[in-house]
Amino acid sequence: MKIITGVGAAVLDHLNLIEAYPKEDGSTHITQIISQGGGACATAIVAAHRLGMHGQMISSVGDDETGQMILEGLDQEGIDTTMMEVVAGGISPHSEIMVNPETGTRTKFVCNNTLPPLEWNSDQIAQIKNSDLLHVDGTRYDNAMAAIRYAKEFGIPVSVDGCHMEENRELNRKMACQADILIMNARYPKLVANTQTTEEALEYFAAWGPKVVISTQGTKGCLAWIDDKIEVFPAYSVKTVDSTGAGDVFHGAFLASYMKNGDVRRSIRYASIAAALKCTQVGGRAGIPTEQEILSYL
């Protein structure tokens, strides 16, 4: 079994199902509240773990109730959390998410991670060394770049989730150029590469030498640079209840498939199905499909 280690966001999501999203200074009714583990990196690791990899997380939480719930959620999924740091007096990252079930859209209000950088003890470094793949989301640039440096030192391939933007665009480029697998959201490529089109941006990133360069485009599917050209992969059509975490599940599913077979096109289709099926349930993790469910669509 391949081992994937994640360094990035481990969050608690409070998902509020609402009747409709109100105008500013208006109001609406919350019909249901669901608390569920979230975070770009952690959800990707959970998805990869469910789909055949052994998942590990290196991140930090506070010693508050939220932090305990984050750790318990990962532990219940079978994720190795032994290298997670618990910060005394720290406030764990969490999100309030407003979900409109009629449209499947969501609006996020995020409490940013203000915990101190990871201290990187020898056991955490050894965990990266003994991995088959490192996955980072860049939500804490200092933690992500430190992890990437260790991975490069040990010859461990690096997957970068291009989602979180630093104000200094050069920092984003420094992280992206370290990727062996670079999967970005719709906004990231043009902003970081400073191009007019996503297609131009993907070609720009591909020149750095990563094996995989992809931009997810939500309901429009995704674009990938394969064999020196852009290929378009459509999204799978489902009745969307909540899109929270769809991109994160795409990452985890793609990595699980790609590390197994090395086939970019098949892994994109596999991940696209996983992301679509996730959207049929509320929250980033509840709807992660099984291998059998994905294969039935593939």
Which domains are present in the chain? 3-10+39-91+114-297 (3.40.1190.20)
Q: In whole angstroms, give the CA distance from residue 205 to residue 177.
A: 7
Query: pLDDT tens digits, residue range 40-60?
Result: 999 999 999 999 999 999 999
pLDDT over threshold 80, residue 150? yes
Residues 6+ apart with CB under 8 A from 46: 37, 55, 74, 77, 79, 252, 285, 288
Enumerate helices (H) and strands (E) in the chain, giving the number of each: 10, 14
* Amino acid type, 26: G
pLDDT over threshold 80, residue 101? no
**Cβ atoms of 45 and 252 closer than 8 Å:** yes
Alpha carbon distances (Å) from 167 to 126, 226, 267 = 32, 30, 32
The order of strands in the sheet holding 11-18 is 30-38, 11-18, 94-100, 105-111
Match 């990252």 to its residue by tokens: 93
Q: What is the full DSSP assignment across 202-233?
A: HHHHHTT--SEEEEE-GGG-EEEEETTEEEEE
**Residue 95 backbone phi and psi in degrees, to 5:** -135, 145
Tokens (6 digits) for 147: 């992890």
**Coil, helix or strand at residue 36:** strand
Considering the entire predicted model, what is its pTM?
Answer: 0.95
Q: What is the mean pLDDT of the chain?
A: 94
Q: Which of 278, 265, 270 is nearest to 296 (CA)?
A: 270
- Specify the range with the lowest mean pLDDT, choosing from 60-64, 150-154, 237-241, 264-268: 237-241
Which runs of consecutive H residues, i.e. helices, occur in the chain? 40-50, 65-76, 122-129, 141-154, 169-176, 188-193, 198-206, 246-261, 264-278, 291-297
Query: pLDDT tens digits, residue range 196-224?
Result: 999 999 999 999 989 999 999 999 999 99
Neighbours of 295 (CB within 10 A): 11
**Cβ atoms of 151 and 134 closer than 8 Å:** yes
Q: In whole angstroms, give the CA distance from residue 105 to residue 25.
A: 20
Mean pLDDT for the stretch of residues 252-278 = 97
